[in-house]
Amino acid sequence: EAWLERLGAPERACSPATCERRERTNVSLLIKNGEIVTAAERMHADIYCEGETITRIGKGLDAPEGTTVVDAAGKYVFPGFIDPHVHIHLPFMGTLTKDTHRTGSQAALVGGTTTYIEMLAPSRHEDLMAGYRLWNELAEGNSACDYTFHIGVSKYDAEAEAQLREIVADGMTSFKVFLSYKGFFGVNDEELFRTLTLAKELGVIVTAHCENDELVAQLQAQLLAAGRTGPEWHEPSRPERVEADGTNHFATFLEITGARGYVVHLSCAPALAAALAAKERGVSLAIECVVPHLVLDKTYAERPDFEGAKYVMSPPLRDKRNQKPLWDALAAGLVDTVATDHAPFDFKGQKAMGRDDFTKIPNGIPTIEDRVNLLYTYGVSRGNLSLERFVSAASTRAAQLFGLYPRKGTVAVGADADLVVYDPNYRGRISATTHAMNVDYSGFEGVEIDGRPSVVTVRGEVAAVDGKFVGDPGRGKLLRRTPTS
Q: Which residues bind ligand URP (CB under 6 A)?
A: 87, 209, 265, 313-314, 341, 343, 363-364
**Which of Zn ion, ligand URP, none does residue 115 bind to, with CB < 5 to 8 Å depending on kind?**
none
Residue 370, contacted partner among Zn ion, ligand URP, none, CB below 5-8 A by kind = none
* Minimum gap (Å) between residue 354 Cβ and ligand URP: 12
Does residue 341 touch Zn ion according to CB under 5 A?
yes
At closest approach, how far in Å is the CB of 236 from ligand URP? 16
Say which residues have a Cβ less than 8 Å from residue 366's Cβ, sequence separation at least 6.
98, 99, 342, 343, 344, 345, 437, 439, 441, 442, 443
Smaller CB separation from ligand URP, 168 or 317: 317
Maximum alpha-carbon separation in the chain: 73
Residues in the chain: 485
Stretches 71-79, 97-105, 168-176, 339-347: which one binds Zn ion (CB under 5 A)? Answer: 339-347
Closest residue to Zn ion, judged by C-beta, is 209
> Is the CB of 76 or the CB of 402 nearer to ligand URP?
402
SS3 189: helix
Residue 363 interacting entry, from ligand URP, Zn ion, none, C-beta within 5 to 8 Å by type:
ligand URP
Sign of CA dihedral 105, 110, 115, 120: negative
Does the footprint of Zn ion cover residue 249 (CB under 5 A)? no
| Span 179-218, contacts to Zn ion by CB under 5 A | 209
DSSP letter for each residue of 360-387: GSPP----TTTHHHHHIIIIIITTSS-H
- Please, what is the minimum distance in Å from the beta carbon of residue 108 to Zn ion? 15
- Partner whose binding site includes residue 313, from Zn ion, ligand URP, none (CB under 5 to 8 Å by kind): ligand URP
Q: Which is nearer to ligand URP, 34 or 366 (CB)?
A: 366
Give the Cα separation of 461 and 39 in Å (integer): 23
Q: How far apart are alpha carbons 332 and 324 in whole angstroms?
A: 12
Residue 52 or residue 245: which is nearer to ligand URP going by CB?
Answer: 245
Minimal CB distance residue for ligand URP: 363
Q: How many helices (H) and strands (E) does the chain have?
A: 13, 24
Q: Strand 448-449 relative to strand 428-429: parallel, antiparallel, unpaired? A: antiparallel
Which CA distances in Å does 213 have to 190, 225, 257? 15, 18, 22
Q: Tell me how many residues contact Zn ion (CB under 5 A).
A: 2
Smallest distance, Å, CB 356 to ligand URP? 20
Residues forming the site for Zn ion (CB under 5 A): 209, 341
